[in-house]
Amino acid sequence: MENTTLKHVDHDEHEEEIPDSFCCCVCLDLFYKPIVLSCGYMCCFWCIHKSMSGVRESKCPTCRHQYYHFPTVCQLLHFLLLKLYPVAYNRRTNQTLALH
């Protein structure tokens, strides 16, 4: 059965409930620029980018399955999350822009 735990995000007087299925396994926050690896697991683009190795094969942070391609953003999921969770997604945009 799918994990249905909800994460409450309360910023700027808006509260959004985000299911665990939309949270990154690396940063534990709403997916930002979500990517889907060949093993089927999803992460934020920047979380995967930071964990990639230029020396040896890169591995999924969840199942350790190797992947050999540079992951691209899943546009459908990106726009779905932006529509469902606009406050949290905009917060993630601002956080990411501040870091990069």
Q: How far apart are CA 22 and CA 77, in angstroms?
A: 10
Q: How far apart are CA 16 and CA 7, in angstroms?
A: 8
In the chain the domains, ranked by start, together with CATH numbers, are 6-99 (3.30.40.10)
Higher pLDDT, 2 or 63: 63
pLDDT value of residue 68: 80
> The pTM is what?
0.78
Is the pLDDT score of 41 beyond 90? yes
Is the pLDDT score of 17 beyond 50? yes
